[in-house]
Amino acid sequence: MASRLLSLSLDLIARAHPDTVPDDPDALTLLSDDDLAPELAAMLARRASPERGLWVFAYGSLLWSPEFAFTEQRVGTLRGWHRRFCLLQRRFRGTPDKPGFVLGLDRGGLCRGVAFRLDDADPHVTLMPVWRREMKGKGYEARWVSVETQAGPVTALTFMVNRTSDRYTGRLSDAEIADRIAAACGHLGPSAEYLFRTVEACAALGIHDRHLWRLQALVAERLHLTAAAPGIARQSRSDPERDPAG
């Protein structure tokens, strides 16, 4: 499976994006914990069958950078939604002038990802870090969904793209998305690194997503051209461990 990563690599990404980018707090207005807490409480109040455990369904950066400790993980399938780069990122891994992309769940199809089981002693405390990460930028809507796994279905919290957000792009072509991902970089690093790490995590889990695999090939082609330009030099990249998406 690793051979399907083609030519996209962290080395190529670093050569194409050697310069660091300062953070611009004005690029994206973020909700405070005081704003977020009532929404999380309301979501937990709508939770069905809490005796069956507290689960979160991951399909993007949560696969390689979860915001929580977990006691169990299962590869599973969510039907009626598909994984797609459809949410602009003007901060973190992009700028207002050159926004990157993050993944969202959009309507139709299916998505294979991972259902993580979390400690259920205090659901509000347990979920707040991931709730903050995904919801503070108003890019997502949270839902309880049914995820099919080999050990049976689980009800999990997950995050769909907010179609009313001005960051929602709709269904652009893979070439259009690749152009933006290849060009974008924020203070957390290039948008292409987010793509690479998601593809890498999916490959390790045995998840093959044609949208992701096609994009990493297209982005690699564009980065090879950028890295070949005069004046490109390698520099160390920023810490990728935390990747706010919302």
Task: Select from 29, 36, 34 the least CA-distant residue to 130.
Answer: 36
Angle at 190 between CA 189 and CA 192, to 5 degrees: 140
Instruction: Report yes or no on 92 lying in a domain.
Output: yes
Q: Which residues pair with 114 in a beta bridge?
A: 58, 75
Instruction: Report yes or no on 238 lying in a domain.
Output: no
Instruction: Report yes or no on 242 lying in a domain.
Output: no
Instruction: Report yes or no on 100 lying in a domain.
Output: yes
DSSP summary character for residue 61: G
Distances (CA, A) of 28 to 25, 91, 166, 205, 210: 6, 6, 11, 33, 30
Instruction: Report yes or no on 83 lying in a domain.
Output: yes
Instruction: Report yes or no on 235 lying in a domain.
Output: no
Beta carbons within 10 angstroms of residue 35's beta carbon: 11
Number of domains in the chain: 1
Q: Is 48 exposed, middle or buried (0-12, 13-18, 19+ CB in 10 A)?
A: exposed
pTM here?
Answer: 0.90
39 noted as active-site residue: no
pLDDT tens, per residue, the chain with 246 residues? 343 445 799 999 999 999 989 999 999 999 999 999 999 999 999 998 888 899 999 999 999 999 899 999 999 999 999 999 999 999 999 999 999 999 999 999 999 999 999 999 999 999 999 999 999 999 999 999 999 999 999 999 999 999 999 999 999 999 999 999 999 999 999 999 999 999 999 999 999 999 999 999 999 999 999 988 755 433 333 344 456 655
Residues 6+ apart with CB under 8 A from 145: 57, 78, 81, 155, 156, 157, 158
Instruction: Report yes or no on 213 lying in a domain.
Output: yes
Instruction: Report yes or no on 234 lying in a domain.
Output: no
Residue 90 sits in which domain range? Answer: 2-227
Q: Which of 39, 67, 72, 134 is catalytic?
A: 134
DSSP summary character for residue 199: H
CATH number of 160's domain: 3.10.490.10
